[in-house]
Amino acid sequence: MQLLKFALSAVLMGSLFSVTACSKKDAESSSNNEITATTPVSGEASTLTERNAQQRFITTLQANFDKAGLKAKIINVKATEIPNWFWVTLEGFPAVLASSDGKYIFQGDMIRLGESAIHNVSEDLQAGDNKAEFAKLKKEDLIVYPAKGKTKHVIYVFTDASCPYCHKLHEHMDEFNSKGVEVRYIAWPRGEQFFPTMQSIWCSEDRKSAFNAVISGLPVVANECQNPVMAQYQLGTKIGVNGTPAIYSEDGRYLAGYIEPDALLQRLNEKR
């Protein structure tokens, strides 16, 4: 299970990441239960009192963010299976669990016990948000390697052309594709110094060739253009990406950092 920590300003920054990914730190050193800031936590409230109580929750939580100097804007809130805790989606930051009194927030793995296998409640909630974000992406803004033959799976990979583990993953591209996996690259430069290269790749007429060139150690020169690199980087930060590669299934579940094709296919089949 992946334990995600996030930054709300400079106060809550940190993460655990697999050794099979290149970290930013290394480089630099809607469901029916969704609500917005003006709608009820559990859908249509039956009474004015309930609507007012739910709006007070949002108002109180936002006020507590502001008092703490956490520059996080609440986008929507979703009821969860955990009594008196809500899933709160924030603008520009990963979502958090928040207590119904607005006094406590939690970001990490909330585990449900009592069954033969443990169940990661937080992962389910985050995956739902991720799936919605991935659905908004335009294929023309990505680098797409289609499956050969029938497409069995689609994965989204946050990548940085400077990352050795991304290079290693890229070496298996033909094998991924031959196993029916379509790979969609999302730009995620691990540091400010890597933005120009990634933007040059995304501005190239042939992004695949440009990506391959950078991996081979060749320079890429491209005209400046309107490109989605910053927006894609912000998306990764929002959902908790902290290193590359970061692989997600089409339904929004985090799968792995670097992984070989057979192991990836096994995880994809397990997630069905």
Task: Select which of 22, 129, 184, 190 is catalytic.
Answer: 190
Dihedral of alpha carbons 221, 169, 165, 111, sign: positive
Give the C-alpha separation, 106 to 110, whole Å: 9
Long-range contacts of 12-19, Cβ-Cβ distance < 8 Å, separation of 24 or more:
12/70, 12/107, 15/240, 15/242, 17/242, 17/243, 17/257, 18/243, 18/256, 18/257, 18/258, 19/257
Give the C-alpha separation, 171 to 111, whole Å: 36
Each residue's pLDDT tens digit, 47-79 = 676 667 678 889 999 999 999 998 889 988 888
111-112 and 105-106 strand pairing: unpaired
Task: Select which of 22, 129, 160, 253 is catalytic.
Answer: 160
Domains of the chain: 31-134 (3.10.450.70), 137-270 (3.40.30.10)
Task: Select which of 22, 163, 184, 203 is catalytic.
Answer: 163
Which bin fits 230, alpha (ψ -120 to 50), beta or left (φ > 0)?
A: alpha
Active site residue 166: yes
| CB-count burial class (<10 Å; 0-12, 13-18, 19+) for 272 | exposed
Each residue's pLDDT tens digit, 185-244 = 999 999 999 999 999 999 999 999 999 999 999 988 877 899 999 999 999 999 999 999
Task: Select which of 22, 129, 166, 184 is catalytic.
Answer: 166
- High-pLDDT (> 90) share of the chain, %: 62
Q: Look up tokens 């804007």; give the residue.
A: 73
CA distances from 191 to 26, 111, 167, 209 (A): 9, 32, 17, 23
Dihedral of alpha carbons 64, 69, 74, 77, sign: negative
Give the C-alpha separation, 163 to 183, whole Å: 17
Average pLDDT of span 32-57: 57
State the pLDDT at residue 17. 42
